[in-house]
């Protein structure tokens, strides 16, 4: 869509007045604005007459690429926008254009600062004989017109105030001046405009355009291969785009009035007439919205901006009456299109709110049921709860029935971490399950449960990682040896007697490598020649490896639940924007 600021709509619901009646009520004055203009509310129409740049995707010779266009907005409808005096840039060439515009702005700002400094110096100098009224200090106040010209202020209002217009003095064509060499080749006029209709973009021109002329007129040489050439091309007389296909709309520097010099060259009459119509459209749009605070008359605006002081009053007045119906139709069409879009959003919102999931566990999830997010989330909750129960039961059974008391004591050092993790996992699984069967659009309705789930999921993931670290730490030789040497005490002797082994990696029966930490506390009768290393590790693996597997499954389930949480958030933003309003 055409990217323009939105303004409040002022239309009402009563029957539309006939266009013919509106036109007949017009009173066109030479010394003040037109009276009885209807209010045109579409903000898109304010772009008429402005120099803009935009981007669009275009396929040339089977290759789709992004191209950039600069031109004057000639007309805007509900679905399309038409530009005049258009230059097409490739992506690389458009960077040159952007750099040129930035450089000009920097240069003008620096020049304005220097002029201001010099003005202050002259003001302090009593001997200065310079007429200060002859110098306009500073950069452009409005940036849309040259010095002394009647134009349109930055907020869109029509103004007759003079400004420095330093940017305009750089080039009469403003941003329409080509930043790079353009591709232009001569060809028969019929060939140039043959097949103008395209799916994404259509381009056309008046057949009466001919003659080069001066002041920026379109030259006689035409770009015949701009549809088949991937190079930068221009100027093209007209290009129109579907609004939905254009992006990155930016304002440029509008041309000076000398760029137009309307009706000075008879060979450009048809093109000049289109420029005249563009100025008339712009005047009508802004004046109809009471955006003409200086009360500039239509004839003064058109003749100054178009540099056509000898323009006939009758032609100007006739053009107003010809252009107003089209603007009214465009304004009403844009309003109808917006109303259709609003109605579509309302219907979409109602469909989202009124959809009812099938009876059952997920009957409260509404439209989310169709995305399978509640079902997948509930599955992750079941997995978390299931493996938490398995973890707890296995740990209790193994430590109470199977494992040796030495192994039980060894694992009891980290038992508090296991218990804390199991509690958090169970709470997390319950919270995920409750949220899965109660989630719906808009998400803010169950925000408290959603936040609780998010916090517990983070805690559950942290506990799973902590449990894995603790379990893996129990499988490290230095940790096991430190426990046997410093804390095992009588349990170590009992293990020796039960399994008829001694020592850790070396037996206590080995007189040369006896470990006093492991052999000095037990009677000599327990100094078996078999080491206890393999027996210790076999029992530890029986207990710890399954716990590791359960912890990994719990961690994966929590990660999957987190993924579903993010998916739910994105769905909520996509489906619930209108519902939140």
pLDDT score of 448 more than 80: yes
pLDDT grade, residue 120 (50/70/90)? low
Percent of the chain with pLDDT over 70: 77
Residue 22: per-residue pLDDT: 87
How many angstroms separate the Cα of 178 from the Cα of each of 56, 68, 96, 258, 426? 19, 12, 10, 17, 68
Residue 76 phi/psi, 5° resolution?
A: -135, 135
Quote the tokens at residue 523: 């009677």
| Pairwise CA distance, residues 432 & 439, whole Å | 10
pLDDT score of 111 more than 60: yes
| Pairwise CA distance, residues 7 & 329, whole Å | 19
Quote the tokens at residue 70: 């600069």
Residue 489: per-residue pLDDT: 73
Residue 381: per-residue pLDDT: 96
Helix (H) or strand (E) holding 59: strand 51-60
Is residue 290 classed exposed, middle or buried when 0-12, 13-18 and 19+ CB atoms within 10 A define those classes?
A: exposed
Q: Kindly report each contact of residues 129-135 with a partner whose C-beta sits within 8 Å and lies 24 or more positions away, as own/partner.
A: none
Mean pLDDT, the chain, rounded, equals: 79
Least confident stretch, 46-60, 199-213, 410-424, 519-533: 199-213
Residue 576: per-residue pLDDT: 60
> Residue 82 forms beta bridges with which residues?
75, 240
Phi-psi group of 566: left, alpha or beta (phi > 0 → left; psi -120 to 50 → alpha; rest → beta): alpha
Which of the pair, 1 or 523, is modelled with greater confidence? 523
Any idea where the domains of the chain sit in the sequence? Answer: 19-120+133-341, 366-580
Contacts of 539 (CB under 8 A, 6+ apart): 403, 404, 407
Residue 78 phi/psi, 5° resolution?
A: -65, -25
Across residues 306-319, what is the average pLDDT? Answer: 90
Residue 416: per-residue pLDDT: 92
Helix (H) or strand (E) holding 250: strand 246-251
How many angstroms separate the Cα of 114 from the Cα of each of 12, 103, 106, 268? 52, 17, 12, 41
Question: How many CB atoms are closer than 10 A to CB 476?
Answer: 10
Contacts of 356 (CB under 8 A, 6+ apart): 363, 366
Q: Per-residue pLDDT tens for 327-371?
A: 999 999 999 988 988 888 888 777 777 778 888 888 888 888 888
pLDDT grade, residue 119 (50/70/90)? low
237-246 burial: b if 16+ Cβ within 10 Å, else e: bbbbbbbebb
pLDDT grade, residue 547 (50/70/90)? very high
Do residues 237 and 209 make contact, with C-beta atoms less than 8 angstroms apart? yes
Residue 394: per-residue pLDDT: 93
Least confident stretch, 63-72, 281-290, 300-309, 337-346: 337-346
Quote the tokens at residue 267: 């060979």
Closest Cα partner for 258 from 146, 349, 91, 379? 146
pLDDT score of 159 more than 70: no
> Residue 72 forms beta bridges with which residues?
51, 84
Across residues 393-408, what is the average pLDDT? Answer: 85
Residue 118: per-residue pLDDT: 67
Residue entry with tokens 């040796």 = 404
Least confident stretch, 124-138, 361-375, 454-468, 564-578: 124-138
Which of the pair, 348 or 438, is modelled with greater confidence? 438
| Pairwise CA distance, residues 450 & 220, whole Å | 67
How many angstroms separate the Cα of 5 from the Cα of each of 9, 65, 165, 538? 12, 28, 25, 73
Closest Cα partner for 388 from 434, 436, 428? 428
For residue 57, the 8-state DSSP code is E
Contacts of 182 (CB under 8 A, 6+ apart): 87, 223, 232, 233, 234, 235
Residue 516: per-residue pLDDT: 74
pLDDT score of 81 more than 90: yes
Opening angle at CA 312, ends 306 and 318, nearest 5: 95
Residue 574 phi/psi, 5° resolution?
A: -75, -40
Residue 79 phi/psi, 5° resolution?
A: -120, -15
Residue 523: per-residue pLDDT: 82
| Pairwise CA distance, residues 373 & 484, whole Å | 50
pLDDT grade, residue 185 (50/70/90)? very low
Quote the tokens at residue 473: 């730490």
pLDDT grade, residue 212 (50/70/90)? very low
Q: Per-residue pLDDT tens for 217-258?
A: 344 344 445 667 788 888 888 899 999 999 999 999 999 888
| Pairwise CA distance, residues 19 & 127, whole Å | 64
Q: Where are the beta strands (DSSP E) in 166-245?
A: 201-202, 233-242
| Pairwise CA distance, residues 217 & 204, whole Å | 17
Which of the pair, 372 or 346, is modelled with greater confidence? 372
pLDDT grade, residue 567 (50/70/90)? very high
| Pairwise CA distance, residues 47 & 249, whole Å | 11
Do residues 357 and 364 make contact, with C-beta atoms less than 8 angstroms apart? yes
Residue entry with tokens 């109809």 = 288
| Pairwise CA distance, residues 377 & 364, whole Å | 14
Is residue 448 classed exposed, middle or buried when 0-12, 13-18 and 19+ CB atoms within 10 A define those classes?
A: exposed
Top-ranked range on mean pLDDT: pick from 139-153, 256-270, 275-289: 275-289
> Residue 247 forms beta bridges with which residues?
55
Do residues 304 and 149 make contact, with C-beta atoms less than 8 angstroms apart? yes
pLDDT grade, residue 172 (50/70/90)? confident
For residue 398, the 8-state DSSP code is I
Q: Per-residue pLDDT tens for 186-204?
A: 344 334 334 333 333 444 3
Residue 508: per-residue pLDDT: 82
Across residues 262-273, what is the average pLDDT? Answer: 86
Residue 161: per-residue pLDDT: 38
Closest Cα partner for 385 from 469, 466, 460? 460
Percent of the chain with pLDDT over 90: 34
């Amino acid at each position: 869509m055409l990217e323009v600021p939105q303004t409040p709509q002022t239309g009402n619901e009563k029957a539309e007045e006939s266009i013919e009646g509106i036109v007949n009520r017009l009173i066109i004055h030479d010394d003040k604005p037109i009276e009885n203009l209807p209010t045109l509310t579409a903000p898109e129409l304010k772009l008429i007459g402005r120099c803009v740049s935009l981007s669009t995707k275009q396929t040339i010779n089977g290759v789709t690429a992004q191209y950039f266009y600069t031109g004057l907005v000639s007309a805007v409808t509900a679905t399309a926008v038409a530009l005049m005096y258009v230059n097409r840039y490739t992506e690389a060439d458009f960077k040159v254009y952007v750099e040129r515009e930035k450089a000009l702005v920097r240069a003008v700002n620096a020049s304005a600062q220097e002029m201001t400094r010099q003005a202050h110096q002259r003001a302090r100098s009593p001997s200065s004989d310079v007429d200060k009224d002859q110098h306009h200090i500073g950069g452009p106040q409005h940036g849309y017109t040259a010095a002394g010209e009647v134009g349109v202020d930055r907020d869109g209002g029509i103004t007759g105030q003079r400004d420095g217009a330093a940017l305009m003095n750089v080039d009469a064509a403003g941003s329409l001046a080509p930043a790079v060499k353009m591709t232009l080749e001569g060809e028969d006029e019929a060939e140039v405009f043959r097949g103008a209709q395209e799916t994404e973009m259509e381009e056309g021109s008046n057949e009466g355009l001919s003659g080069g002329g001066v002041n920026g007129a379109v030259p006689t040489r035409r770009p015949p291969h701009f549809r088949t050439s991937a190079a930068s091309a221009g100027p093209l007389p007209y290009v129109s785009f579907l609004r939905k296909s254009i992006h990155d709309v930016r304002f440029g520097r509008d041309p000076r009035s000398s760029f137009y010099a309307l009706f000075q060259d008879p060979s450009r009459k048809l093109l000049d007439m289109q420029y005249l119509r563009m100025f008339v459209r712009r005047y009508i749009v802004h004046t109809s919205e009471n955006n003409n605070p200086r009360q500039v008359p239509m004839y003064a605006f058109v003749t100054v901006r178009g540099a056509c002081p000898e323009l006939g009053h009758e032609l100007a007045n006739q053009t107003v009456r010809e252009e107003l119906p089209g603007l009214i139709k465009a304004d009403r069409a844009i309003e109808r299109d917006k109303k259709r879009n609003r109605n579509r959003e309302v219907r979409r919102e109602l469909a989202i709110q009124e959809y009812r999931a099938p009876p059952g566990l997920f009957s409260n999830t509404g439209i989310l049921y169709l995305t399978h997010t509640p079902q997948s989330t509930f599955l992750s909750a079941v997995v978390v709860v299931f493996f938490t129960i398995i973890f707890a039961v296995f740990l209790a059974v193994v430590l109470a029935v199977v494992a040796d008391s030495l192994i039980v004591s060894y694992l009891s050092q980290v038992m508090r971490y296991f218990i804390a993790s199991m509690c958090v996992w169970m709470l997390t699984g319950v919270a995920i399950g409750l949220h899965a069967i109660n989630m719906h659009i808009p998400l803010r309705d169950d925000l408290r449960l959603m936040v609780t789930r998010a916090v517990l999921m983070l805690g559950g993931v942290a506990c799973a990682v902590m449990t894995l670290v603790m379990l893996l730490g129990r499988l490290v030789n230095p940790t096991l040896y430190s426990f046997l040497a410093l804390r095992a005490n009588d349990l170590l002797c009992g293990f020796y007697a039960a399994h008829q082994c001694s020592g850790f990696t070396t037996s206590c029966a080995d007189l040369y490598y006896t470990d006093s930490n492991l052999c000095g506390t037990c009677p000599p009768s327990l100094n078996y020649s078999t080491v206890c290393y393999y027996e210790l590790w076999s029992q530890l693996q029986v207990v710890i490896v399954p716990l590791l597997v359960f912890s990994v499954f719990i961690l994966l389930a929590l990660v999957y639940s987190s993924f579903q949480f993010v998916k739910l958030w994105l769905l909520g933003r996509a489906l619930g924007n209108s519902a939140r309003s």
